[in-house]
Structure 1
Amino acid sequence: MSPLQPVATDPTAQAPTLSLLASWIVVLSLLLGWLAVARPAPLAAQPTGVSWAWSGAITEGSAVVVARLARGVSEARLVIAPDGTDAEVDALTVPARGYASPDAHGLVRFEATRLSPATRYRYRVETREGQHLEGRLRTWAAGPFSFRIAFASCATTGSNHRVFDAIRALTPDLFVHMGDFHYLNIGRNDAEAFRRGYDRVLDSSRQSALYRAVPIAYMYDDHDFGPNNSDGTSASRPAATAVYRDHVPHYPLQAGADTIQQAFDIGRARIIVTDTRSSREPVDAPRPRTMLGEAQRRWLEDELTRAKDAALVIWVNTVPWITKGNESTHEGWAPYAEERERLATLIDTLGLTRRLVMLSGDGHMAALDDGTNSAYMAGRGPDSRGFVVIHGAPLDRWPRTKGGPYSHGVSRRDHQFGLLDVADTGTALEVTASARDAYGQLVPGLELRLRCDQTGCATR
């Protein structure tokens, strides 16, 4: 047939072509739908004056906000007021008069004091020209106080997945980020590379919205401290710790320490956050090895001793504690068994085993153990019970199981996080630990309810 001849228009002849076209349209629609979830959504335009801001170090009467100003912006201030009040009348400004200048990297750190306990605040980081970013936070209270903590780890660098919206929608009072904030695997002492890492994450529209709506307590793990499985020998260590101190709204750190561990109270609960990377010895170092370093281990032992009368102790330990499934692995605490036993024995001696809940990440999974498998104290028997351990991960990373076994099992899927609800009745703490999916819904089977008082925590 000549190229100039008309093509037949018989509908029957056209049917296969149209059917094939329809099939491709369906496939393309499904592919585009998948990409909308799997790939970061386009970033929302940032104000020209303030690139990002987040809050943390919350107490009964204070908070810290750290912001990064755009290049060329020379001054900014923090305006903070109780939510629902007249900002012009009730607002506090930091500094009290005038504006603050950023450091050489555009960072400005605001310490807001004279806040009221158990109060929801809205804040605004603004430039002289009126450009601004807004956020929210809630202060704690001494004594009986109910609160919600979301916790998670492991997100692809700059992820903009909807899981961050799901966390924000549950309105937690604190988001505990347990590491792998990014996956840049920086293996050199390059502070600027770490600064770029923070910018890439905080420029994500969904993550930025979460961190402005919910105060953060953040502890790095291997991929955001150094290379995969990095330890205290990593060349990245000086840059990682220095940039953390500047960029993160953290609680007070130990003077002169190389590690960034911290502890604080929320109501009648004591939260202890340990740094499992900065002073960790290599897994092939002579035994006994240390995960925490001698100085941090002494600090942790002191913190546990001071917390022995707390109604609830929450230990944020970024890596798997339970490794009974394969003790020969190099994952988690297995290579540091002697130090693990020492700490478990102290916890048991202090009477804290039944009043301690451990939050963990690192493994790309959600998992829950009620104490059946977490006992590592000296003299333990086959029926010895440890404390509750719950893993919340990954935020946006492929699934992978680590450690175990876990009494309530493992959810090996992407886009997960943990939730810890603490309702203080004045005589007891009603605690609910659970794992949640990308929509904030309960992961079936991964929920545990406890009632905690001075005698310990019992399953409800």
Structure 2
Amino acid sequence: MTHGSLSPLAVRRLIVLVFSLGLIFAPLRNMAQHASAQPITRGAALRLATRTPRPTRTPAVTLTPTSTATATATLPPMVTTGPVVGGVASTSAVVFVRVSAAAAVQIQYSTDPNFSSEVFTTPGIEAVADSDFTAQMPLSELLPNTAYYYRILINNEVQTLPVQPHFTTFPSPDNVLDEFRFVVFSDANLLDQPSAVYQTAANDQPAFVMQIGDFDHRNPGVLPNPAVIDNWRVMHRDMLHDSAAGADFATYIGSAHPFFHMWDDHDYGANNADYRASWKGMALQAFKEYYPLPTLPNPEGGLWHSFRNAQAEVFMLDLRSQRSPDDASDGPDHSMLDAQHISNGQKDWLKASLLASTAKWKFVVSTSVWNPHSKQVDSWYQFQTEQQELVQFIHDNNITGVVILSGDLHSNGGIDNGANSYFPEVSVPLQSHKAEQGCTGGLCGDWSEGIISDMTQPGYALITVRHDAATGADSAILQAKGEGGSVRISYTVTLP
């Protein structure tokens, strides 16, 4: 054998070794190529970004590695919750989004779904840890009654979303539409199950959608204990996206319809909670982080607000953050609206706003039952002095077109023509709840057009506003509908 050359036996051994290494590493190389060829879905990427890495099994080899260095891939920030559009008016809107890490967030919007012309971009807003990486981005100088398409930019990169988000601005306030519809949800408690009612309601093509309390029943002011702001933040993420029901909301409602929300006790923080809650500040902060809102009359005091679509104005009452304890004695100071008599309080705002409204229809959202002949606890029944004050104010000032939209009863829908509730009232069907019978609080009560109390059947309310241009007649059709879209109860209100 010549010095420096390999023997035939050594050559054969080297060939076998090289071949063996090829067998070992080829599958790993194929797996890596296969993984790189597969698109990472939004949900899969989020799971990669948030889950604890599992230890990986190292293939058995005959060679001892000379290095144990590893590399960790860092995913760029991405959308985790939203977008949701709200605070919509004739020329403005607000878009909410949450991202996975600190980043600059923008909205790019256009009337062109292909974004090939007239594309506008909002200034960047920093999503930071202090606000749970959420951003609220106002859109201004929009055209009335116009469809807009939008997309999310994170650090100047356009994000790929499962569906193309869009919305339509409201008409100018002085416009009267021949017809429009809106949807109302209330009382949900089965977030771990798909919610078909969202798709059904979306098929009604509503101009906007409302959720009027108890979006969930987890009582974040109580559990987990002690109460921390993440209790509310996690709940909001679940309701808007991170659950089976939340995924349906994101697909059928949040991505396509202006959305307005008001809390009741269980999503405020605790059963029958009022202004005394020690965690109220955290509840308010988390709500403002996660829901796109119109301008609030008193943002430090509470969440009450109003908005207008054509000939209808909606007054969203906050019946928790300024509410007296239910069991206190009724009287002039016992208040659903202003227990603390704060400056620029809710009751004064409601009276002044009703008086000033030029809308034909005034829909008042009461997250607690308004009808005093219905639920007798945690309802307006315990606040009859203040209720009578409001009723008298409306009558004395000849304010017409008042309709009450109420939640919390856990009915499958009820409607009163005003015989029991002073004004026409809809008890909005529960959206989803554990199977029970009867109404919460033990009394469904008297409703002139009927009430359904089989709590195993979800549903929603549909309100249709009509104007007959030929005759000048104005009407509002109030309907309680089932999960499949069937009409359970219907009543038509006409203006004098």
TM-score, length basis structure 2: 0.74
Q: Structure 2 CA distance, aligned partners of 1:424 and 1:62? A: 25
- For 1:125-274, list aligned pairs within 5 A: 125-127=152-154, 128-133=156-161, 134-142=164-172, 143-145=175-177, 146-156=179-189, 158-159=191-192, 160-187=194-221, 189-203=227-241, 204-209=246-251, 210-255=253-298, 257-274=300-317
Runs of 4+ in 1 over 3 A off after TM superposition: 424-428
Q: Structure 2 CA distance, aligned partners of 1:201 and 1:404? A: 30
Distance 1:76 1:132, change over 3 A: farther
Distance 1:149 1:46, change over 3 A: farther
- Asked whether 1:316 is paired with 2:356, we answer no
SS of the aligned residue for 2:165 comes to: strand
Deviation at 1:412, TM superposition (A): 2.0
Aligned position for 1:303: 353
Deviation at 1:47, TM superposition (A): 6.5
Contact 1:321 1:403 in 2 (8 A): no
- For 1:45-64, list aligned pairs within 5 A: 45=43, 48=46, 49-52=78-81, 53-64=83-94
Counterpart of 1:362 (choices 386, 403, 408) is: 408
SS of the aligned residue for 2:307 comes to: strand
Deviation at 1:217, TM superposition (A): 0.9
SS of the aligned residue for 2:285 comes to: helix
Q: Structure 1 CA distance, aligned partners of 2:378 and 2:298? A: 30
SS of the aligned residue for 1:249 comes to: coil
* Paired residue type of 1:389: E
Deviation at 1:113, TM superposition (A): 1.0
Contact 2:135 2:289 in 1 (8 A): no
SS of the aligned residue for 1:241 comes to: helix
TM-score, length basis structure 1: 0.80
Deviation at 1:310, TM superposition (A): 2.8
Q: Structure 2 CA distance, aligned partners of 1:74 and 1:343? A: 47
Deviation at 1:287, TM superposition (A): 2.7
Most deviating of 418-427 and 265-274? 418-427
Aligned position for 1:423: 466
Q: Structure 1 CA distance, aligned partners of 2:421 and 2:45? A: 48
* Paired residue type of 2:213: G
Distance 1:46 1:423, change over 3 A: farther
Q: Structure 2 stretches of 5 or more lacking a match?
A: 1-40, 47-77
Counterpart of 1:80 (choices 103, 106, 109) is: 109
Deviation at 1:403, TM superposition (A): 4.8
Q: Structure 2 CA distance, aligned partners of 1:435 and 1:287? A: 32
Aligned position for 1:410: 451
Contact 1:154 1:395 in 2 (8 A): yes
- For 1:93-104, list aligned pairs within 5 A: 93-95=121-123, 99-104=124-129
- Asked whether 1:396 is paired with 2:432, we answer yes
Distance 1:47 1:248, change over 3 A: farther
Q: Structure 2 CA distance, aligned partners of 1:429 and 1:212? A: 31
Q: Per-residue CA shift, 1:77-116, capped at 9, x if unaligned?
A: 212122x554121222112xxx432132111111111211
Q: Structure 2 CA distance, aligned partners of 1:407 and 1:44? A: 49
Q: Structure 1 stretches of 5 or more lacking a match?
A: 1-42, 376-386
Count of aligned positions: 389
Q: Structure 2 CA distance, aligned partners of 1:197 and 1:85? A: 32
SS of the aligned residue for 1:90 comes to: coil
Most deviating of 243-252 and 84-93? 84-93
Deviation at 1:122, TM superposition (A): 1.8
Contact 1:261 1:296 in 2 (8 A): yes
Deviation at 1:45, TM superposition (A): 2.6
Distance 1:429 1:91, change over 3 A: farther
Contact 2:272 2:326 in 1 (8 A): no
Distance 1:325 1:51, change over 3 A: closer
Aligned position for 2:67: none
Aligned position for 1:106: 133
Distance 1:275 1:325, change over 3 A: closer
* Paired residue type of 1:321: W
Distance 1:171 1:325, change over 3 A: closer
Q: Structure 2 CA distance, aligned partners of 1:421 and 1:47? A: 41
Q: Structure 2 CA distance, aligned partners of 1:114 and 1:258? A: 29
Aligned position for 1:435: 480
Distance 1:301 1:141, change over 3 A: same
SS of the aligned residue for 1:418 comes to: strand
* Paired residue type of 1:57: G
SS of the aligned residue for 2:127 comes to: coil
SS of the aligned residue for 1:300 comes to: helix
Distance 1:125 1:157, change over 3 A: farther
Contact 1:184 1:224 in 2 (8 A): yes
